[in-house]
Structure 1
Amino acid sequence: MRTRAGHLYFGGEAMSCSLRSLNSFPKPPLTIEEQIELLRQRKLIIENEEFAKEVLNSVSYYRLSGYTLSLRAGNLFHEGVTFRSVYQIYEFDRKLRHLLLGVIEVVEIALRTQIANHMALKYGALGYLNSSYFRDPLFHQEFLLELQKQIKNTKNKELFIRHYIEKYNGKFPIWAAVEIFSLGMLSKFFKNLKIEDQKAISRGYYDFPPQYLVSWIHALVTLRNICAHYGRLYNRTFTITPKLSKEIKKLGFLDDRLFTYIFILKYLIRSRKKWISFSTNLQAIIAEYKDEVDISLVGFPCNWYEILLS
């Protein structure tokens, strides 16, 4: 979107707007004091107004309101709900995002490594540029264009990219190229590998069929993007659901809630030590906020800790 002299441009088309129409949104902006008064009118208990002001000056009213969905009926809060309890739920969500980003990083780097090792040893350093080694040659060519854009956008930020441009005329061996891939690109790349290559990577390192790895990495792209952009995890329904085996489905948890995403991570983290560390840290966060947080709203069953470590 671009603006110019009272006009809004969407996708190249101009929408003429008078200055009056720009200020005619049905919900007027509110000062921090007015926001607090509105929350009081909606039956939210404000125990400490200075604390509420401090929070609302650093976390927007709109962002915070997403964490109140389970605490109210319509616009009115349930009896006894306090501002501090809403903020505690927000803090739980923030710490949970941070914890998940760390473990997703482990998954992403391991998958980069497995793909690079397999492709290099089977097809050579630059074999990944050959469309005949992929299921859909056209999709592969589109992927290479996306890679070139990524290189162009990051060449001034990453020393190793400039190194390959200057010394090797812009030729990136697969072990360097995967370091440029985003998790989304990594997901696309793996999905387009021939089935025998998918099997070699999935069964060789992860010890489960490739169709699960394709689905799970795709799901983790969604989760990673939500976490990286500070999106809400609490009380969220996910539209991308990971593929689950019949045995996993028998456990009975909802596949469109966060716990399913966390559950599949236990198959993607090959280090038992790292997985125990993650699960213990997760347990600590839940224990810290147990009085305010309803873990069923993120899909956690009562015996979630035992399930993750079984």
Structure 2
Amino acid sequence: MSKPFQTHNQQLKILRSRNISITNGGKAKAILIRENYYQLINGYKHIFLDIVETKKRKEDYYKIGTTFEQIYALYEFDRNLRNVLMKYILMTENSIKSKIAYQFSSECPKEPFSYFNINNYRSHDHQKTTSLIAELSSVTKKNTDATTKSGPFYHYFNEHKELPLWVLITKLTLGQTCSLFYSLKNTTQTEIIKAVLHEFKNNCNVAAQHINPQLYISDFSSAINSIKAFRNVCAHEERLYDYEAKNRNGKPIQTTYFYLNSPTPPFKGGLFDIILLLRLFLTKKDYKQLLKRLDEELAKLQTELPSNLFSEVTRKMNLPKNWSIELNKYI
């Protein structure tokens, strides 16, 4: 059965009939005009619903005291959270790309288009490697127009007769970059992780010492896969605060904080965990700024939600009660 179109006034009437208090109808209507009703209400209603009454009535019914402003406050908080996290994910993405391009290129210094050579990758899965090379070729083609002699890559083709990986990688998505890392030889992966750990040890007071990078290739791969999953949520404006990292098959991603010396909580794939993963790639200054901005957003939300609902939000974020103390331990 199709859903009939509802005007903004009808939408407000429906919300009121479902026990949502709307004190300023004009302001609420302006928000609905600007925002998508489905994304706002259906996307953020869950912690506000009265489950018993909803089942009884067979339609959404909200807890006593729920206001339109509270739902919108959570919606805005999540949007701000995405913006904050995306900034530091992009920093991390650049760091990962830089180290992959540097190490791979250093191993093939005189070979033009070395990333198109299947022999420069691990040998156990030629099918995945072939697919990767096809993707790299597609990205190259999309960014070069030989007809108009334009595009960000044309200069390198024209002047240098090649396209270095450190140039190509700037146009790869984080997903494509992860696929590139997965396909590299173990020795190359090990050197990349070694470079990451070397930088991290200079930026963290509790960095683990004397790590054998070769033992943690799988954990590192899962870590950047988790970061990629969160990046996709941020980029597509999906609900973030209660998201838990999953792979393409919808299964939870598992990894460890192998790079930290002090005891850490088990990896659950939530926001708390992704911040600890980002710690591996961020400078001390940037990590502290990330925590500061997270604290500011949470402090604002705390003034806009009842204490029980605010606690529910932080629980779904996998934040421990002393989350700030915990995360600050890893400065």
Distance (whole Å) between structure 1 residues aligned to residue 21 and residue 264 of structure 2: 39
Residues 188-245 of structure 1: CA deviation (Å, up to 9, x unaligned): 0001111111111102322553222211111111111110111111333443424125
Residues 106-159 of structure 1: CA deviation (Å, up to 9, x unaligned): 111111111111112122263332211211333222112112222333336x84
Q: Which residue of 1 aligns with 2:176?
A: 185
Q: Which residue of 1 aligns with 2:210?
A: none
User: Secondary structure, in 3 states, of the residue corresponding to 2:280?
Assistant: helix
Q: Is 1:76–2:61 an aligned residue pair?
A: yes
Q: Which residue of 1 aligns with 2:26?
A: 50
8 Å contact 1:242–1:261 — kept in the other structure? no
Q: Which residue of 2 aligns with 1:274?
A: 286
User: Secondary structure, in 3 states, of the residue corresponding to 1:179?
Assistant: helix
Q: Is 1:147–2:136 an aligned residue pair?
A: yes
Please show how residues 155-170 of structure 1 align to structure 2 within 5 Å: 155=144, 159-169=151-161
Q: How high is the TM-score relative to the length of structure 2?
A: 0.79
Q: Percent identity?
A: 26
Task: Give the one of 94, 97, 104 matched to 1:119.
Answer: 104
Q: Which residue of 2 aligns with 1:9?
A: none
Q: What amino acid maps onto 1:258 in structure 2? A: L
Structure 1 outlier segments of 4+, above 4 Å? 245-248, 250-254
Q: Which residue of 1 aligns with 2:196?
A: 205
Give the superposition deviation at 1:168: 4.1
Count, aligned residues: 284
Q: Which residue of 2 aligns with 1:234?
A: 241
Residues 55-90 of structure 1: CA deviation (Å, up to 9, x unaligned): 111111110121111110231111101000110101
Q: What amino acid maps onto 1:161 in structure 2? A: F
Q: What amino acid maps onto 1:35 in structure 2? A: Q
8 Å contact 1:242–1:260 — kept in the other structure? no
Q: Which residue of 1 aligns with 2:92?
A: 107
Distance (whole Å) between structure 2 residues aligned to residue 155 and residue 309 of structure 1: 45
Q: Note the aligned Cα RMSD (angstroms).
A: 2.4
Q: Which has the higher contact order (CA 8 A, sep 6+)?
A: 2
User: Secondary structure, in 3 states, of the residue corresponding to 1:39?
Assistant: helix
Distance (whole Å) between structure 2 residues aligned to residue 218 and residue 254 of structure 1: 14
8 Å contact 1:203–1:210 — kept in the other structure? no
Q: Is 1:176–2:181 an aligned residue pair?
A: no
Distance (whole Å) between structure 2 residues aligned to residue 239 and residue 138 of structure 1: 24
Distance (whole Å) between structure 2 residues aligned to residue 242 and residue 219 of structure 1: 9
8 Å contact 2:256–2:267 — kept in the other structure? no
Structure 1 residues without counterparts, runs of 5 or longer: 1-24
8 Å contact 1:67–1:234 — kept in the other structure? no
User: Secondary structure, in 3 states, of the residue corresponding to 1:160?
Assistant: coil
8 Å contact 1:155–1:161 — kept in the other structure? yes
8 Å contact 1:116–1:175 — kept in the other structure? yes
Structure having the higher strand fraction is 1
Give the superposition deviation at 1:54: 0.7
Change (3 A) 1:286 1:37: same
8 Å contact 1:71–1:78 — kept in the other structure? yes
Structure 2 residues without counterparts, runs of 5 or longer: 55-59, 199-212, 248-252
Distance (whole Å) between structure 2 residues aligned to residue 254 and residue 296 of structure 1: 15
